[in-house]
Amino acid sequence: MEKTAVAVGDSTKLEIIFSTRKYRSTVKKSPRIKTNEGGPEKRVHISTTMTERPDSTYPVVNTPYKVDMSQFTEKKVIRKKLEITNVSDEDLQISLVGWAEDYFDVKMPESVRAGKTVEAEIVLHKDVYDKSFDKSLTFELSDEKHSRFTIPVKRTVRNVRTPGTRAAGGSGGK
């Protein structure tokens, strides 16, 4: 939460982080928001379908199905590629529906033809190079079910030395 007091006409972000752990099948959660508005608490709802083998989920295969952008040496890790293979027999449109906009950009192809593979790319924002985080990106396909896939994007930064600075810690403090 960016701020807990929101002036009239202003807005704030509420980030919901969900740890998928060993959950199976579909999981729904509804965090409650209590405000000075009075009345019943408001809720936001999230749902996800856990996959044990997400590398073989129809109609696309995402490789990798989890993106690790960790950096443990001086070699900068600031971009990662992700392959999306269409294993169905129809061409699919791809729509990016959510990602951590404050942390990275996503270059996502608009479509993938049946049987073909396309490449997406995650590019970190410069101001998060020394930060560790757990975020994700979500895209939706144009198949009959409008299938959605969420790719976790994780980054841990340790022992990074840049000229004139001390090593950055795992929590990524500036």
Partner 1 sequence: MNKATKAAILAVTTLLIVGSSVAAPRLLLKEESFDFGYAPQNSKVSHVFWLYSTGDDTLKILSVKPG
Residue ranges binding partner 1 (CB under 8 A) = 1, 3-23, 29-38, 42-52, 54, 57, 65-66, 98, 100-101, 134-136, 138, 140, 147-150, 152, 154
**Whether residue 64 has a cis bond before it, omega within 30° of 0:** yes
Nearer to partner 1, 66 or 76 (CB): 66
Nearer to partner 1, 48 or 85 (CB): 48
Nearer to partner 1, 117 or 136 (CB): 136
Rounded-to-integer distance, Cα 149 and Cα 97, Å? 10
Tally Cβ neighbours within 10 Å of residue 86: 22
Total count of residues recorded for the chain: 174
Nearer to partner 1, 14 or 166 (CB): 14
Instruction: Tell the smallest beta-carbon distance from residue 32 to partner 1 (Å).
Output: 5
Instruction: Tell the smallest beta-carbon distance from residue 29 to partner 1 (Å).
Output: 6
Q: Are 80 and 122 in contact (CB under 8 A)?
A: yes
**Structure-block tokens of residue 13:** 């972000």
